[in-house]
Structure 1
Amino acid sequence: MNIYQHFRPEEREFIDQVLQWKNYVEAQYTPKLTDFLDPREQHILKMLIGENGDVNFQLFGGSLNVERKRALLYPDYLITNEDEFQISLFEINYPTKFVTIEHRQVLGTLMSLGLKRGKFGDILIKDGRIQFFAAKEVIEYIKSNVESIGKAGVKLVETSLGEAISAKELWEENDLTVASLRLDTVISGIYHISRQKSQTFIQQGLVKVNWTLSENPAFHCEISDMISVRGYGRAKIIGIDGKTKKEKWRIIVGKQK
């Protein structure tokens, strides 16, 4: 069986990576810890590892309800705990009375350090407080190189995972019927706009799928895909329930409140 046929061509490299992790655990009888994975990557890992083999896995991102999580693959006879995920939590101290720091500024600063996105988990913002999760192997480098975000001087304070801001997000679920699973058609259904308008948004670079800019209106959407349209918010495909008698697709979509 060709395992690649169940996934997208651009996901082949990640599929190979997951299979390498699995083979490593099977051959070495030792756990393998990954970087932070986005929800689509987590979905692929679940599909490839399964639940009844010699290799088990757990996902943890530092707190409940976070999106980005590290995966721990391990032999089925091992017992694991959260410490093995090697995740640190930073609180960003800054002059809240004088400046505002946005999510994109925090992410931009972290990415400017030259580290992979996978070394950072979710960025949490609530009532002026800002936190982010990071892989323990890079925390000293982060502490040594982050002194400002935007125009604000900041101080990073490492704190316990139990102090994490609640990351619970409210998603409003809707059942939709769409003519196809093309990106332009799905966006049209989710946001109640014309397909022509959704195509324009895609062509103008206003649409991301799984945190990556997508300029292909014919992109085929699948379960766990996260879609964001600038100015319209985020949505995720929770389920695909097959076709109706009129050959249209029934999908379950969550829109962020």
Structure 2
Amino acid sequence: MVKETIYQHFRAEESTTVTELGTLIAQAQTEYRPILTHFLNPRERFIAETLVHEDNRVKLAAEGLVPNAERQRMLFYPDYYEPVLADFELALLEVKYPVKFATLKHSQILGALMNSGIKREVIGDIITDGSRWQLIADQQFSRFLQTQIENVGRIKVRLSELEPSAVVIPLDEWQEEQVSVSSLRIDVLVAAVYHLSRNRAKELLNNKLIHLNWMLLDKPDHEIAVYDVVSVRGFGRFKLEEIRGLSKKEKIRVVVAVLKK
């Protein structure tokens, strides 16, 4: 069980995540065996790491198949256990399509996957080396996806499962930037990262075009925390990686990684 005092360290809307992860950690401890999560985003993994730090009887490991994967599965396990790759139950699927005649985008592939009826939590990263596209998925859903995904938009495709060692080296499209802001409010950060006015940022929020950690957000005064991922439709995504303190002008200096649309 999660101690009540732990909840105060997280947002109210994260309480469900805290409870769910705390339950899995307790299960690993009481049943003395490894327990696997679904794919977690960076903020969820930060919560998991914080909870494990509170209970040193359980260890954790994370795996997303590619270095620095944004979405990873976590394994909570007792001291005696030594995790191996197979424990994470990951499937590597390659998107076969007519490379010479068609171009795919991350958003198109994700859209096709979501339209199949599965939940986002069973899909890890969608990656490309510039021509080949691959995705990492929960092993239990590999066969389902191979039979259900036949088109991405108007492009005919086929999913083929490969050995994990066949994963491509993904293009690193994240660009690290330092910005100075007056506060960590989401409208302030969106405006700073994309060089917009505050009014334009609030407009995007009001039009339901901004997601925080894959959840719709419409509160301009919501404060961003380290490891949060913000998605802005039409612009791309960014994640808050570090808060570096105040500048001489009393501005908050932050480091963000930006993924352009």
TM-score surpassing 0.5?
yes
Deviation of the 1:255 alpha carbon: 2.5
Output aligned runs, 1:23-172, within 5 Å: 23-50=26-53, 53-172=56-175
Deviation of the 1:246 alpha carbon: 6.2
Aligned to 2:184: 181
Deviation of the 1:4 alpha carbon: 1.1
Deviation of the 1:117 alpha carbon: 1.0
The one-letter code matched in structure 2 to 1:203 is N
Q: How many residues align?
A: 257
Q: Contact 1:36–1:121 (CA<8 Å) still a contact in 2?
A: yes
Q: TM-score, normalised by structure 2?
A: 0.90
Deviation of the 1:167 alpha carbon: 2.6
Q: Contact 1:62–1:88 (CA<8 Å) still a contact in 2?
A: no
Choose the corresponding residue for 1:16, options 12, 19, 24.
Answer: 19
Residue 155 to residue 171, structure 1, CA distance change in 2 (3 Å):
closer
The one-letter code matched in structure 2 to 1:218 is D
Aligned to 1:236: 239
Residue 101 to residue 256, structure 1, CA distance change in 2 (3 Å):
closer
Unaligned ranges ≥5, structure 2: none
Deviation of the 1:169 alpha carbon: 1.9
Distance 1:52 1:149 in 2: 44
Residue 6 to residue 244, structure 1, CA distance change in 2 (3 Å):
farther
Deviation of the 1:168 alpha carbon: 4.8
The one-letter code matched in structure 1 to 2:239 is K
Deviation of the 1:71 alpha carbon: 0.3
Q: Contact 1:66–1:167 (CA<8 Å) still a contact in 2?
A: no
Distance 1:136 1:73 in 2: 18
Distance 1:217 1:6 in 2: 21
Distance 2:81 2:173 in 1: 35
Unaligned ranges ≥5, structure 1: none
Aligned to 2:5: 2
Deviation of the 1:21 alpha carbon: 0.6
Q: Deviations over 1:20-66 (max 9, x none)?
A: 01110110000001111111111111111128701000010112122
Aligned to 1:256: 259
Name whichever of 192-201 and 39-48 sits farther off. 192-201
Deviation of the 1:161 alpha carbon: 1.4
Q: Contact 1:92–1:130 (CA<8 Å) still a contact in 2?
A: yes
RMSD, matched Cα: 2.1
Choose the corresponding residue for 1:200, options 200, 203, 215.
Answer: 203
Q: Deviations over 1:204-246 (max 9, x none)?
A: 2332222333221111100011123334332211112344576
Choose the corresponding residue for 1:191, options 170, 190, 194.
Answer: 194
